Amino acid sequence: MTPAFAPRFTKTLMFRVSAVALVIVALCLGGYVLWIQATVFSPYANKDEQRWFERDADKELDALALKLDPEGAAGQNSEILSAFRERVARFGVELVVFGPDGRAVASAPGDSLLAAVPQVDTSLLVAMTDKKWDFDSYPDKSNVEAYANRIFDVDPIGDRAAPRGYLVASYRPFEMGADLAEVHSSLIDTQRLLEKVLTAMLILAAVTLLLLVGWTSNRVSKLSVAMEAFTGGDMDRRVQERGSDEIADLGRHFNHMASRLASLVDSLRQKEQFQRQLIANLSHDLRTPMASLRGHVESLSLRFDQLEPAQRARALDTITGNLEHLDRLVERMLVLSRLDAGQAAIQPEEFSIVELVDSVVGRCEHLALPGGVTLAVQAQPGLPLVKADPLQVTLVLQNLLENGIKFNRPRGTVTVSLAAPVGRGQVDVTVADTGQGIAAADQPHIFDRFYTGDASRTRHTDAPAHLKYSSGLGLAIAAKIVAAHGSELKVESTQGEGATFRFHLPAAVTETRKAMRAEG
């Protein structure tokens, strides 16, 4: 572990959560042990007794020693000891005055220690007057209840260097039966076992906590690495979606966000590519008719008198066709831009699709005359009204019919079929021609903007001038309008056998209900 790693590790989530959790566990365990020690295993009966032994005993016993005289009258010492003992009797304290030779000379009434403890080793008393003496030790290890083991304070009387006696304070002997002694011993064993169990629990909790926090931190770290890689440009980076907790939910939200952002970036890239393609295609599609216009206009202006009337008429017809093509190109670009911007909102209304088809076919008949193409309509009897935007549907049908005429063979046929499948609440529209068809390689792209396949470049020289040129926008516009009506423009074609375009429009609700009533 390098020195640079330590500060970084202390700032991690794993370290902070682990540290806080361990501190909390340690405080809880320590508080519990202290509470056990202060309540169950405390040597004091109450707080008054604890306060006296820990704070007041030394001062009061020192003051009492100054009042005593081992060589004085025994009655006087007994009176002094009796007055003091009355105050501390509830604490279980015994008081004895020993002479310089270690013989007991006086005691407080009721202690009865003069006969029980007639003499104590003087060297022990002298040692106990030292402030470094440990009163928790056992001078007499042969008998736990020996008097010497119960002494908790010794004060010299008179000069400390040559004392005239000693004031000795001891605990009252604790008498217990065999049953009580067994209970006391069991209680001590239980305390020790409890401390071991709690220590083991603390260690187990710490290890479990570290493993849990490490596992959680590892998952968060993987998510952080994935986010860092994603923000660094790796748009395909994702995290594993396993589990049902908050981190797993966060991973799923990240994957969803990443997918949305990646899709948005792809869309922006496609739009950028489309803009480049748009400029290139517009440059190409505008350049061709503009060059033709310029050539014919210059020819007419320079050689007008030298041209035959038929040549002049043909040049003027070509100029007119190019102008119409430019006009249609600009018009379709405006329509497509409005569809892309959502400005060409669909305004549905109920109308007869049969009447609309007849109207569009009538408008396209003059386009079919030069090539001898026949336009036909096949409508199922009793068709319901449809609910759609008639202007937009007209534009779709006109584009499909013009394509059918433009790419058909001489004296071919373009047929518009209308049918209403039972129980589907829609009217199917089919536009089929008998032309040369569409190559399989071109079919996936014919609805792309500005796309013109090789097969589409074979046109009739007898077609009207504005149909001799293709912008590659008609089918793209038709597909968008059909999609806005909740359908999809589909194509079926075999090269050399013509092409068939299909889509459907929703039937009007009123007509659908009438049909349901009739069937019911």
Asked whether residue 202 is assigned to any structural domain, the reply reads: no
41-63 residue pLDDT tens: 556 667 888 888 888 888 988 88
Instruction: Assign 206 a pLDDT band (cuts: 50, 70, 90).
Output: confident
Q: Give mean pLDDT, residues 420-431.
A: 90
Phi and psi dihedrals of 119, rounded to 5?
-155, 150
pLDDT at residue 433 is higher than 80: yes
215-256 residue pLDDT tens: 777 777 787 888 888 788 787 888 877 777 777 778 888 888
CA 72-75-81 angle, 5° bins:
95
Residue 293, domain CATH: 1.10.287.130
Please identify, among 345, 362, 385, the residue that sits at the C-terminal boundary of a domain: 345
CA 435 – CA 263 distance, rounded (Å):
39
246 and 111 in a single domain? The answer is no
Instruction: Assign 450 a pLDDT band (cuts: 50, 70, 90).
Output: low
Among 156-160, 301-305, 392-396, 403-407, whose mean pLDDT is lowest?
A: 301-305
pLDDT at 455: 42
358 and 504 in a single domain? The answer is yes
325 and 396 in a single domain? The answer is no
Please identify, among 318, 345, 372, the residue that sits at the C-terminal boundary of a domain: 345
Asked whether residue 223 is assigned to any structural domain, the reply reads: no
Please give the residue that has the higher pLDDT: either 23 or 117.
Answer: 117
Q: Give mean pLDDT, residues 278-307.
A: 67
315-328 residue pLDDT tens: 777 777 667 666 66
DSSP-derived 3-state class of residue 396: helix
251 and 156 in a single domain? The answer is no
pLDDT at 490: 92
CA 201 – CA 33 distance, rounded (Å):
13
pLDDT at residue 283 is higher than 80: no
CA 282-284-286 angle, 5° bins:
65
358 and 493 in a single domain? The answer is yes
410, 502, 423, 389: which is closest to 462 by C-alpha? 410
311 and 356 in a single domain? The answer is no
Instruction: Assign 499 a pLDDT band (cuts: 50, 70, 90).
Output: very high
pLDDT at 461: 45
313 and 354 in a single domain? The answer is no
Q: Residue 233, Cβ neighbours under 10 Å: how many?
A: 7
CA 9 – CA 305 distance, rounded (Å):
94
pLDDT at 370: 86
Query: What is the amino acid identity at position 73?
Result: A
pLDDT at 456: 44
Q: Which domain holds residue 370?
A: 347-519
Asked whether residue 222 is assigned to any structural domain, the reply reads: no
401 and 322 in a single domain? The answer is no
465 and 415 in a single domain? The answer is yes
Please give the residue that has the higher pLDDT: either 515 or 124.
Answer: 124
Q: Give mean pLDDT, residues 175-189.
A: 55
410 and 297 in a single domain? The answer is no
407 and 357 in a single domain? The answer is yes
Give me the number of domains the chain comprises: 3
Please identify, among 345, 365, 394, the residue that sits at the C-terminal boundary of a domain: 345
